[in-house]
Structure 1
Amino acid sequence: MQSSIVSKAVRLAMITSASAAALTAPAVWAEEEEVERIEVTGSRIKRADIEGASPVSVITAEQLQATGIVKVSDALQQLSAAQGGITTAVNNGGDGKLSVDLRGLGAKRTLILVNGRRFVNSGTGADNSVDLNNIPVSMVKRIEVLKDGASAVYGSDAIAGVINVITKNDFEGFEFSAQYGETTEGDGDEYELSATFGSNFDKGNVVVNVGYYNRGEVRQGDRSFSQCPLAENADGTYCAGSANSIGMGAFVNGSEGLAIGSDGNFFGYIGDTKVTDPNSEDPDATTYEIFDQAGTAIGFLSDDGVSAYEPWLQFEPGGDGSSSDKGYHPFTSADRYNYAAVSYLSTPAERANFSVNGTYEFNDDLRFISENSFVWRHSNQQMAPQPINYTLNNWTLPADYPYAQNYTFLPDGITAGTINPVTGEAVTGQDLLWPLRRMTEVGPRIFEQTVYTWRTVVGFEGTLADEWMWGVSYMAGRNDAKDVSHNYINMDRVVKSVTDNCEGVSPDGTGNSPDAPCINYFGEGSLTPDDVKYIAYTDQGTGFNQQEIIEAHIAGDAFELPAGAVGIAAGIEHRRESAGFQPDALTVAGLGSGNAQDPTSGRYDVSEAFVEFAIPVVADAGFIENFDVEAAVRYSDYSTFGNDTNYKIGATLRTAGGLMLRSVASTAFRAPTVSELFGGQSDSYENYADPCSNADANATVKANCIADGVTPGTPQQNQQTRAKVGGNPDLQAETADTFTVGLVYEPTFIENLSMTIDYYDIEIEDAISNVDVNTKVNVCYNDANGGVDGTGTFCSDIGRDAVGQIDGVIATLENVANIQTSGLDFNVAYNFDAAGLEWRVDYESTYLLEYDFTPYAGADPFDYVGQVFSSGGSYVEWKHSFNAAVRGDSWSFNYQMRYLEGLDRFEADPGNPKLGDSTDAVMYHDISGSYFINDYVTVTAGIDNLFDEEPPYVTNGIDGNTDTYTYDVLGSRWYVQTIVKF
């Protein structure tokens, strides 16, 4: 009885993916394989049964081919256990890298293996996870997905799970594949070519693979849902912005006054000193008073007698500012710049790969192994022209800046100044603060990455006494990247262009740049080609990741118990991780487009030892067919934070009738990466509210302020303060407790039917994160031991200057957060014969029960279940996948349905509801069909997103008005594939 169940489990898992209806791939057919002892992801001990104590899903090469998948990331991101990951649709913040995010815990908490060995972190330099671009589909034999923590077996990073890609190391023959496809809009073309050659010779095997992949771009302006940033009003959504609006303005003394306007589509600011509207029905309401060009107060911005917070005005082209008819109108989102028109919706990329794997057998007990791969990748993203403003770039326009003279909506003779809303007195000679402008003349920002990644493994494997299998290997991997950003703005030259040679601003003399022009930043198209040439530059950074591993292991049957042999595996490993990123020289100096940033450079070493046991406790005892226990322990000693030990205990209970219970409890950890430890620090400027500026603060806050020498109610002079962000060499490891329990049912009276349900629970402590400035300041001053010299939470990170103003906050990475998540995985798989045809159906779903993120100790947790973020990313509560396939003698047909339950926007304000605060459920349908022309040639065609489902609208969605991490943004697309084998 046991052997038939084992055979069925292997057949379903390895051939029809019974435990992983995991992806877009429906079941496909292959010849049944003889059951043998194999090493399954999650254990170093070879065994006959793929169904162990931990849930493992399997994706086969046949599935990938039958459904036209040409990127490993596409298959993995469609797992119901996955919550997002970086896709080709991530333009804003993307760098061409592709990843998978199991359980929504981040790609860095999922371990990626190739043939059971680690793969080097990869990307543009000092990266935290593996780039799946480096694993070509044409070399994949199968992908095993362990949905459980496994640090006791594999070490760091295996918190959410382990993905092990098994390559075609024993391939024989020749296979050529060509595929082309595009969207039904005629864009987003994608094609892939690959050739694989394998040969067995007298004492070994060699497999050679070459491939090329190319993907074209799709722009946000090419789709109706993303062609402009959407805003909302009573009638629905509307386009927020125009490509003709450069959004230029310059604010005068922001603490108490009126802004300047200009002769184009520009806006002004009415100052942030609030005064009470005497006509308001709300006696506590404050708002902003409006002044005409003569300096006369003309009223308050209000709505039916209730004061309205409307600090912005849009100045009309050619307006004189004397009235709303002739000079301005209340600023709305329609006056914004349309940054979406030139931004990518789907990013372009191309990739070339070459690999050679081989084995050589010296005798029956000793063989040499070698794995070698090289991947070249070029990718790019495109975004709107760079904005420059005070918040990002910390610059001002001098009071005598000549190009501002004709654009001030102030009394004659006052070229730049403010009017105090309380006294009505004009103040002259003020610099123009907070200038902002979209640099349309310079052109869109284009980001390019050129990345080279290589990996090599050499080693020996063998057997001892016909029972013990051993191996030693050396692995080295490295990637080098060049990260180029075009059409950036040299802010040092911007400052020179409004000071050094502008008449009336700065006298000629020492310190002036003789080649600096005086540039007019007011007005659309005011920058000349020479102006652009002077201020624009190309930013170039370089980075790398490098990994070296030497390991040795042994596994076999230690001794016999009445229920069977006790399996044991043990091993040692030493690993070195090095990484770095060198920003452009202008960035390091703080003269580029943003704040100064230091280079990243560092390395660490880790030595590890592990042992694992598989213990048969009961066998063939009536109703109980098997009861097995497995255990593992791994010790890790890091050169950075010290040591960590992780444990695992699991059990399986098989009964008559095809029922199996399984469970695993384990600890896991994630060591801080090079970038987290040694990441280049930089200054950021963040908004905050000083608790000491509130005269009505609670007693604790007042006491802490007084202890700091600050009188409660002291005005806060600046809205922002300097924050130190970046790496932290004092970081410790993240730790986790993981637990799974499940039921597998394979009824003996229905052949080839398998049903599983698994519960998982993961709790992470000391998660690496950072806390924003405003939170740190408020938590500190509400602590009984608060203040800059206090011992309260975050207080040591805050500094004040001599006059009591906060002058800096340390906001680097810390071991500060906790994450708690749990859920249920379901799977049903069934294959059968009917009407002379072979049928396969399988269903998979994941239900997210809990996802609580606690940003720091003592904080209230955030519940992320069913939430989507405007900045991108979501935690879908219910995800379903249904696959069906049928095969005849010379053809096959496949259908897949993917369902994502609706989401609620995390940032939603119940008091101010928005149209995109929730999304409807989305269902995608994919079909494909294959025709087997003969034994050598197969043609496959398919359509993904058959009914052209558009992504749902998410209010303030920063990329395409939706969540590009979760939804399909391309719409319906077709492909044709030809495979030739002989």
Structure 2
Amino acid sequence: MKFNRLAKLVSLASSGIVALSAPSYAVESNEESVERIEVTGSRLKRVDMEGASPVTTITAEELAKSGFATVGDALRSSNLNAFGSWGGGSNNGWGSQATVQLKGASAFHTLTLLDGKRMAKSPVMDGGAANINTIPMAAVERIEILTDGASAIYGTDAIAGVVNIILKKDFEGVQLDARMDRPTQEGGDSSNLSFTGGLNSDKGHLVFTFEHYESQKILQKDRWYTQPFVQEGGDPSDYQDWVNISPTGRVLTQGGAGGWVYSTPFSNSDKSCADVYGDAFIGSLDDSDYPGDTLCAYDYTQAAATSVGQTRNNTLLHYTYELSDSIELTARAYWAANETQDVSAPVPASISIPNGLPAYTTAEGLDLVELVADPNAGMNFRFDTAGDRVAEHHDNIFDYLLALDGTTDFMDWDIAVNYNKYDNYTWGTGYQLKGATTDLVGEWDDESNSFVGWDPRDPNSEMPAGATANYDKRMSASYLDISGGAAFELFELPGGDANMYIGGSYREESLDSKVSALAEAGQIVGGNGGSGGEGERDVMAAYFEFAMPVMDNLELNLAGRYDDYSDFGGTFNPQVSVRYNIIEPLLIRASWGTGFRAPTLSDLYQGTSEGFGYMKNYLNCYDQGESIDNCDRWDYGPTRTGGNVDLKPEESESYNLGIVWDITESVNVSVDYWSLETTNLIDSLGASEIIKTQAKLWEAADAAGVARPDVSTVYPGTEISRLGNGKIDYVVSQKLNVGLSEREGIDVKVGAGFESEFGDFKFGLGWSYFLKYKSSYSEAGVQVISDDEAGREDTPAHRVNLTADYLLGDHSISYYGNFIGSQESWDVIEGSWDPDAGETADDGTLYEIDSVMYHNLTYTYTLPWSNSFSLGVTNLTDEEPKFDYNGTYEGNLYDIRGRTYWAGFRQSF
């Protein structure tokens, strides 16, 4: 087949890194036959790289030049990852995970592919997203990022876009890579070693890659901003003026008989909490919010980690073989094994001591304060005597692909079978068995006139065994996908042949996510990340693409896909796109489509779990004739949550309008406006919202003189149980389709490159600007659209990547910049408004979180023996996170490793 010759530029700079795929357009020629290629966002092979939907390409070379050691770090620094994403922080169930979130949407709205096939979903994230920590840098040939909805092509999850990791297939020879990273601050050291080998024959090609990566954890005490400190101008004796400490250290909590006072467990004026209980304890402190209360606070940063320690091993085997002149076999096997150590401070817990504790002086001279007997009497106790909480996460992924691609005189066809399985096991130690400590507390013995057994107030009284417990989890997700289709020419149009692809797929999914029985029953204190439930389903899909070159410079594309799920039904999603070359170097493109995200198996089938917390008792306020809106009655109780088999898919509608211009042969620019609206977002409601909605329903019904409706008529599946005195017994919540969001933005890419007698230069810019970001929240049963949050706290309106490369002979220098824009806080600066002048807080000045610019530099020297040596520094200026009004920061956005020097070596044979 002969096709028009494509005139296109090579990518000039990295985006997203800022990798710029240069525009391409048709040029008259009848003499050359150009190979068709498949680009992310279409199953039809084409001769043009720049299509009707924006695709950013990041090559392996550009990944290396950016200075990042892992694929996850590189993707999360991209301007396209606008609001940042999870990178594997500590003290949570997601410690081993990392995600990418295009357009600031949920990680569940970005589809991640390996060579165009779905990457294994992580059961740790309830089977809703891929863990990009499992991708070996050494195996990557390039990454293609589609920033357009693509459910018409790929089905579920492609609401905000697609990240397609293209693996190495044509490598020949042997290559060894080694790298060491050393931050100038404590913690975060990392190193990786990889081996890549490739063999060619007349009929086949084999590529093998192995990579080993290690990183050390960063403790909270290793950074000043996560250490305890007193706010500027604050009172060091007041707990409320401290940052990064916990009130759960050693505190007696008197019940009603004791006047509800909180107090330090001892009264010796010459002793501090550190003198009695150890260096991690602070005080005794007062509490200005509750005058008269005192406490021993706890410095949890001495033990808790901010980031986890990890060891990763990844192996990839990719084989292609020509069965005949027209049929090619592809076989791929991928294995990843990650071990992650997540260290948290000892459990903060509460001990119920209804019998109270007497006042007496210990043999060591410690004067213990009385705890008055009362059903609500107890003690807030940090179980440092039981050691730190340590969760060891073990992730194992197996991914197998077997595919056939063929060509006949009238069509190209393909069929593939892909199976992947993701297993996670977590072994957690140092947790507490709920309620067990109450039975361990001793009592006063009148006969011996002494305290017998364990006294939690006394540091010299040893806690007996029986209070500690493990928090163990086992999770597994598997996917079997069989797909195939055919592409063929239909008829001839003025611009060329109209082409069509018709395909179908069958997919089986399963999720089995369980925690230990005691944890499932809510009997383990200090754990996190509960059961995701278990379930299975199958999905059948049929899809098509239709490309019509209406004229030489105008192409219309139609696509559609119908997915039928065994557990909630079917959904059809169309897409229309067009590309038009006004003149040869100037391209206009536009697209419209709908998308969806199917409820995860966990969303549907998660078992009931119970979590305790405070909830506002609006019903009690209404019963007492008080205003519902001004209610200030709080209860403490359980909320029971679980899956919902009646969930519908989340839905989206997206638009894209862009222009691509080759200004000269060495300078190009693209500007794309996009809009994304999502509805039916799946979320769980808080207990207070459910209670308030019920109170409002009662109020309206009583005013109308009709029967009081139940809250389940507004929020299906919810329930409120009350005790005889009006207190909340428990609340039942479940996942519902209750949210929506509206987003608009502009993505700009600029690339330039030129050669000179002084060397070769390349420059790139990637800028993502949010025009609008609104989301909904529930208020008394009504969905309320928020104000525009673009540019507000944690949602920066501006993200920019800059790149510059200089090459002279065997020497190259690369620069990578990552800019995160300033954000306006929701907090009004204290003292910025004058009440004496009649001003209110609305007249005050909002606090602004500063912008930040990270700088990476890389120098590479190519040696004459097929090897090279690289030196680099990331975060050259040692930028720290930018802090909100309360002194905390958004971990998804900012770097905590600080300035990091690294050295790398590559040897090829």
Q: TM-score, normalised by structure 2?
A: 0.87
What is the aligned-residue RMSD (CA, Å)? 3.5
Number of the residue aligned with 1:894: 814
- Residue deviations 1:233-259 (CA, integer Å, cap 9, x gap): 459997547799824222312996444
Which residue is equivalent to 2:789? 865
Q: Deviations over 1:897-948 (max 9, x none)?
A: 2211112334668778999943111111111111111261111111111111
Give the equivalent residue in structure 2 for 1:547. Answer: 479
2:701 and 2:709 in contact (8 A); partners too: no
Among 621, 642, 648, which residue is 1:694 paired with?
621
Task: Tell me the SS of whatever aligns to 1:780.
Answer: helix
**Corresponding residue SS for 1:545:** strand
Task: Point out the more displaced range, 795-804 or 445-454.
Answer: 795-804
Residue number in structure 2 paired with 1:833:
755
Q: Helix, strand or coil: the match of 1:441?
A: helix
Whether the aligned pair in 1 keeps the contact of 2:253 and 2:261 (CA below 8 Å) is: no
Correspondences of 1:155-194 after superposition (within 5 Å): 155-185=155-185, 187-194=187-194
Are 2:648 and 1:732 aligned? yes
For 2:191 and 2:792, the matched residues in 1 are separated by 32
Letter in 2 for 1:608: A
Matches within 5 A, 1:772-921: 772-783=686-697, 784-785=700-701, 787=708, 789=710, 793-794=714-715, 797-856=719-778, 858-863=782-787, 865-866=789-790, 874-906=794-826, 917-921=847-851
Within 5 Å, which residues of 2 pair with 1:743-782? 743-747=659-663, 750-782=664-696
The answer to whether the Cα contact below 8 Å between 1:404 and 1:522 also exists between their aligned partners in 2 is no
Q: Give the 5 Å matches for 1:113-152.
A: 113-122=113-122, 124=124, 126-152=126-152
The offset of 1:232, in angstroms, is: 5.2
Structure 1 position 569, deviation (Å):
1.0
1:403-446 CA deviation, whole Å, 9 max, x = no partner? Answer: 56779xxxx9x9654xxxxxxxxxxx523435311112122222
> Is the counterpart of residue 370 in structure 1 residue 364 in structure 2?
no
Name the amino acid aligned to 1:953: F
SS of alignment partner, residue 302 of structure 2:
coil
Determine the C-alpha separation between the residues in 1 that align with 2:20 and 2:227.
34
Asked whether the equivalents of residues 929 and 942 of structure 1 are also in contact (C-alpha less than 8 Å), the reply is: yes
2:413 equivalent to 1:470: yes
For residue 889 of structure 2, what is the aligned residue in structure 1? 962
One of 558, 574, 580 as aligned partner of 2:490 = 558
Name the count of aligned residue pairs: 850
Paired with 2:613 and 2:420, the residues of 1 have a C-alpha distance of 39
Summarize deviations over 1:608-631 as a string: whole Å, max 9, x none: 010011111122xxxxxx111111
CA pair 217-864 structure 1, distance change in 2 beyond 3 A: farther
SS at 1:556 equivalent: strand
1:686 CA drift (Å): 3.2
SS in 1 for 2:85: coil
Pick from 211, 231, 248 the counterpart of residue 251 of structure 2. 248
TM-superposed CA distance for 1:24, in Å, is 7.3
**CA spacing shift, 1:488–1:257, aligned 2, 3 Å:** closer
Aligned CA distance change for structure 1 residues 7 and 811 (closer, same or farther; 3 Å):
same
Distance 2:232 2:216 in 1: 32
1:923 aligns with 2:853: yes
Partners of 1:243 and 1:731 lie apart in 2 by 39
CA contact (8 A) 1:241 1:336 kept: no
Q: Once structures 1 and 2 are overlaid, which stretch shifts more, 693-702 or 887-896?
A: 693-702
**Cα distance, 1:175–1:34 mapped onto 2, change above 3 Å:** farther
Q: Which residue of 2 aligns with 1:86?
A: 86
Q: CA deviation at 1:527?
A: 5.2
Q: Does 1:449 align with 2:399?
A: no
Structure 2: gaps of 5 or more residues: 23-31, 275-285, 447-451, 703-707, 831-839
Q: Give the distance between the partners of 1:480 and 1:868, measured in 2 at CA.
A: 38
Cα deviation, 1:730-770, whole Å, max 9, x if unaligned, reads 211001101111111112xx212111111111111000011
Give the structure 2 partner of residue 344 of structure 1.
Answer: 305
Inter-partner Cα distance in structure 2 for 1:682 and 1:739: 40
- Cross-structure match for 2:402: 458
> Helix, strand or coil for the counterpart of 1:495?
helix
Q: 1:262 aligns with which of 251, 265, 287?
A: 265
Equivalent position of 1:508 in the other structure: none
Distance (whole Å) between structure 2 residues aligned to residue 194 and residue 788 of structure 1:
64
Give the unaligned 5+ runs of structure 1: 268-300, 303-307, 316-334, 390-394, 418-428, 506-516, 620-625, 703-711
**Is 2:331–2:402's contact at 8 Å kept on the other side of the alignment?**
yes
Q: Residue 355 of structure 1: which of 282, 298, 316 is its match?
A: 316
1:543 shift after superposition: 1.1
Equivalent-residue separation in structure 1 for 2:877 and 2:377 (angstroms): 52
Q: Which has the higher strand share?
A: 2
Question: Measured at CA, do residues 37 and 230 of structure 1 come closer, stay the same or move farther in structure 2, by a change above 3 Å?
Answer: farther
Residue 821 of structure 1 and its aligned partner are, at CA, apart by 0.9
Partner of 2:26: none
In the TM superposition, what whole-angstrom CA distance separates every residue of 1:245-285 from its partner, at most 9, and x where no partner exists? Answer: 82422231299644454117689xxxxxxxxxxxxxxxxxx
1:397 and 2:353 equivalent?
A: yes
Structure 1 residue 312 displacement after superposition: 5.6
Counterpart AA for 2:382:
R
Say if 1:263 and 1:242 are closer, same or farther in 2 by CA, change over 3 A.
farther
In structure 1, how many angstroms separate the alpha carbons of the residues matched to 2:880 and 2:681?
35
- In structure 2, what is the Cα distance between the partners aligned to 1:723 and 1:105? 27
Structure 1 Cα separation of the partners of residues 353 and 864 of structure 2:
74
SS at match of 1:22: helix
Q: Which residue identity is paired with 1:656?
A: I
Helix, strand or coil: the match of 1:262? coil
Question: How far did 1:338 drift?
Answer: 1.7
2:457 pairs with 1:522: yes
The CA deviation at 1:853 is 1.1
Match among 424, 431, 440 for residue 481 of structure 1: 424
Q: Say which SS state the counterpart of residue 859 (structure 1) adopts.
A: strand
Counterpart CA distance in 1 for 2:638 and 2:257 is 19
The alpha carbon displacement at 1:168 in A equals 0.7
Distance across 2 between alignment mates of 1:543 and 1:485: 14
C-alpha distance in 1, partners of 2:414/2:359?
A: 75
Cα distance in 2 for partners of 1:633, 1:253 equals 66
Q: Which runs of structure 2 are paired with 1:404-415 in the superposition (5 Å)?
A: none
User: Aligned pair in 2 of structure 1 residues 179, 24: CA closer, same or farther (>3 Å)?
Assistant: farther
Q: Which residue of 2 aligns with 1:639?
A: 566
- More displaced stretch, 244-253 vs 156-165: 244-253
Cα deviation for residue 688 of structure 1 reads: 2.4
Which amino acid is the alignment partner of residue 736 of structure 1? S
Deviates more, 1:105-114 or 1:238-247: 238-247
Give 3-state SS (helix, strand or coil) of 2:782's partner.
coil
C-alpha spacing 1:916/1:585, structure 2 compared with 1 (3 Å): farther
Contact 1:852 1:862 in 2 (8 A): yes
Distance 2:803 2:527 in 1: 50
